[in-house]
Amino acid sequence: MGKHSTASIPFQKRWPLMFLVLFSLSTAIVFFIRFSSDSSSCNTRNYEANTHQIQVGSFANPLNFMKSKLVLLVSHELSLSGGPLLLMELAFLLRGVGAEVVWITNQKPTEPDEVTYSLEHKMLDRGVQVVSAKGQKAIDTALKADLVILNTAVAGKWLDAVLKENVPRILPKVLWWIHEMRGHYFKVEYVKHLPFVAGAMIDSYTTAEYWKNRTRERLGIKMPETYVVHLGNSKELMEVAENSVAKRVLREHVRESLGVRNEDLLFAAINSVSRGKGQDLFLRSFHESLQLIQEKKLQVPSLHAVIVGSDMNAQTKFETELRNFVAEKKIQDRVHFVNKTLNVAPYLASIDVLVQNSQARGECFGRITIEAMAFQQPVLGTAAGGTMEIVVNGTTGWLHQAGKEGVTPLAENIVKMATHVERRLTMGKKGYERVKERFMEHHMSQRIALVLKEVLRKSNSRT
Ligand SMILES: *[C@@H]1O[C@H](CO)[C@@H](O)[C@H](O)[C@H]1NC(C)=O
Ligand SMILES: *[C@@H]1O[C@H](CO)[C@@H](O)[C@H](O)[C@H]1NC(C)=O
Ligand SMILES: *[C@@H]1O[C@H](CO)[C@@H](O)[C@H](O)[C@H]1NC(C)=O
């Protein structure tokens, strides 16, 4: 994971330091800044800023009932990837209301790791206790805790390995937070205790449905009570997204560095490069859209595509395939590659359309989609997974099928975005409104609060 941050440093260095500090470019950097600020004031501000949007007519933090509760969070790893960062967000929301929070990382790198070290220290600074995954302290905390949250399917390995004969006593107070939708997670060794926990919390309805089917059909086990909790955008991301000066400056800088003019139309796929994320099919669609424009002699601005998430070292074969395609079709001046980075905000500020081309079952949720919508970007997405619960087809973007069948529809949608300027801008605005209505941090807090309340009630009645 250290690779992410080092790979992005040369690029960041080109940015004036001021912007790094002022506009907190990446979610990760944003996190660091947020970690080091005073937790209680941070939280108060959050709710003051958001009170006008809270529909329930209450000024109280929905998580207030967690005050003084002991919560054990078990993460399968500690890295800058989506799962652990999300659990850390929850740790800070809980700390913000005065809960006692203990963190365990089940799989640690064997060698000291800069990222793990820095994340642990951010947690310690915010009053989260970090304890070893194995040993008596972990067992005692699990026994004493009001609530144990396991993060991702893989974290299930921790139960037997550490708790051993105590497992049955802990299960009634376990909430299992699941963020994945791939076959290899349906291993008995990971999920055999799933039917006996208090509840499962899953990021989208599609993913919840998929887990229900697969556990039943593959493993013959039944899911526990399952709660769908859509995620929300952090307050820090929203601050950049709603700051027009910051956005303009970021847009100028990124476009200049890519060689894209202000009037050009920039379509972006922002995902780690891999076949599952569909950058290959996106480039085919993009090439087709250029051909369509030429054939029909359409008068539109120059179209550009940017792939943010390149990783030549980890994805050499696929990455080479992408570059070869671009060279073969002679569209090098139209297609840009940016290395994997957590600094997505500058790109979100610079593009005109987000392309979410995840294949097969699609994204479990797809946080980049709500992030792009916060920046008033319309989305061209595959009709799969969480994307279907975020993007309203025809209103906040257009959906196309996953797979090869989707290549031409996506090409046509790209052309439509170029020819229907008003429509495109309106879609961006509608996307922003949708985010403000349901994909903000305070919405996520409210949804999580309902689940935690229910799980506490159930585990109390069982003991
Ligand atoms: C789950 O199974 C039902 C019935 O077998 C089916 O209709 C549905 O499409 C399946 N859902 C998923 C996500 O596989
Ligand atoms: C992108 O990553 C490759 C290695 O994966 C590296 O050689 C290259 O210098 C990086 N580019 C930038 C701009 O950091
Ligand atoms: C999205 O809506 C368009 C019409 O606006 C329609 O042609 C297309 O089939 C829809 N896509 C999906 C996946 O429903």
Residue 50 is predicted with a pLDDT of 35
Is residue 25 pLDDT above 90, yes or no? no
Residue-range domain boundaries for the chain: 37-232+441-462, 241-438
313 CB less than 6 Å from ligand 1?
no
Instruction: Decide whether any atom of ligand 2 lies within 6 Å of the 312 Cβ.
Output: yes
Domain 37-232+441-462, CATH homologous superfamily name and number: Glycogen Phosphorylase B; (3.40.50.2000)
Bigger pLDDT: 183 vs 35: 183
Percent of the chain whose predicted confidence (pLDDT) is above 90 = 77
Report the separation in Å between the CA atom of 397 and the middle of ligand 1, taken as the mean of its atom positions. 26
CA of residue 24 to ligand 2 center, whole Å: 22
Upper half-sphere CA count for residue 151 (Cβ side, 13 Å): 25
Ligand 1 atom closest to the Cα of residue 206 is 13
For residue 104, is pLDDT > 60?
A: yes
Average per-residue pLDDT for the chain = 88
Residue 154 pLDDT > 60: yes
Ligand 2 atom having least distance to the Cα of 9: 14
- The per-residue pLDDT for 410 is 98
pLDDT score recorded for residue 400: 98
What pLDDT score does 451 carry? 98
CB of 213 shorter than 6 A to ligand 1? yes
Q: What are phi and psi of 143, to 5 degrees?
A: -70, -35
The residue-averaged pLDDT of 3-26 equals 39
Q: What is the pLDDT of residues 424-454, one digit of tens each?
A: 999 999 999 999 999 999 999 999 999 999 9
Q: What percent of the chain has pLDDT over 70?
A: 87
Assess whether the C-beta atom of 211 lies below 6 angstroms from ligand 1.
no
User: Which ligand 1 atom is at minimum distance from the Cα of 212?
Assistant: 1
Q: Ligand 2 center to residue 305 CA distance, Å?
A: 19
Please tell me if the CB atom of residue 209 comes closer than 6 angstroms to any atom of ligand 1: yes
Q: Is any atom of ligand 1 closer than 6 Å to the C-beta of 6?
A: no
Q: What is the pLDDT of residue 96?
A: 95
Q: Which ligand is nearest to the CA of 412?
A: 3
Q: What number is the average pLDDT over the span 370-377?
A: 98
pLDDT at 12 over 60: no
- Judge whether residue 140 has pLDDT over 80: yes
In angstroms, the CA 421 to CA 309 distance is: 28
Q: Which residue's CA is the nearest one to ligand 1's atom 4?
A: 213
Closest approach atom of ligand 3 to CA 394: 5
pLDDT, position 59: 62
* Residues 412-421, mean pLDDT to the nearest whole number: 98
Task: Report the C-alpha gap between 386 and 393 in whole angstroms.
Answer: 13
Q: How confident is the model at residue 350, as a pLDDT?
A: 98
Average of per-residue pLDDT across 113-131: 93
What are the residues facing 227 on neighbouring strands? 201
Do 37-232+441-462 and 241-438 fold alike per CATH? yes
SS (H, E, C) the chain: CHHHHHHHHHHHHCCCHHHHHHHCCCHHHHHHHHHHCCHHHHHHHHHHHHHHHCCCCCCCCCCHHHCCCEEEEEECCCCCCHHHHHHHHHHHHHHHCCCEEEEEECCCCCCCCHHHHHHHHHHHHCCCEEECCCCHHHHHHHHHCCEEEEECHHHHHHHHHHHHHHHHHHHHHEEEEECCCCHHHCCHHHHCCHHHCCEEEECCHHHHHHHHHHHHHHHCCCCCCEEECCCCECHHHHHHHCCHHHHHHHHHHHHHHHCCCCCCEEEEEECCCCHHHCHHHHHHHHHHHHHHHHHCCCCCCCEEEEEEEECCCCCHHHHHHHHHHHHHCCCCCCEEEEECCCCCHHHHHHCCEEEECCCCCCCCCCHHHHHHHHCCCCEEEECCCCHHHHCCECCCEEEECCCHHHHHHHHHHHHHHHHCHHHHHHHHHHHHHHHHHHCEHHHHHHHHHHHHHHHHHHHHHHC
CB of residue 392 inside a 6 A radius of ligand 3: no
Tell me, what's the pLDDT at 462?
72
Chain mean position to CA 258: 25
CATH architecture of 241-438: 3-Layer(aba) Sandwich (3.40)
Mean pLDDT, rounded, for 252-260: 97
For residue 363, report the distance from its CA to the centre of ligand 1, in Å. 17
Which residue's CA is minimally distant from atom 14 of ligand 1?
210
pLDDT computed for residue 111 by the predictor:
83
Q: Which of 312, 319, 336 to mutate to test the pocket of ligand 2 (most atoms within 8 A of CB)?
A: 312
Residue 7 scores a pLDDT above 50 = no
* Per-residue pLDDT tens over the stretch 281-334: 999 999 999 999 999 999 999 999 999 999 999 899 999 999 999 999 999 999
Question: Would the CB of 216 count as within 6 Å of ligand 1?
Answer: no
The Cα–Cα gap between 76 and 109 comes to 11
pLDDT tens track for 37-88: 323 222 222 323 333 333 444 568 999 999 999 999 999 999 877 889 999 9
CB 2 less than 6 A from any atom of ligand 3:
no
pLDDT digits (tens, 9 = 90+) for 195-248: 999 999 999 999 999 999 999 998 999 999 999 999 999 988 999 999 999 999
User: From the alpha carbon of 213, which atom of ligand 1 is closest?
Assistant: 1
Is the model's pLDDT at 181 over the cut of 90?
Answer: no
CA 398 to ligand 3: nearest atom: 1
Taking CA atoms only, the protein residue closest to ligand 3 atom 11 is: 399
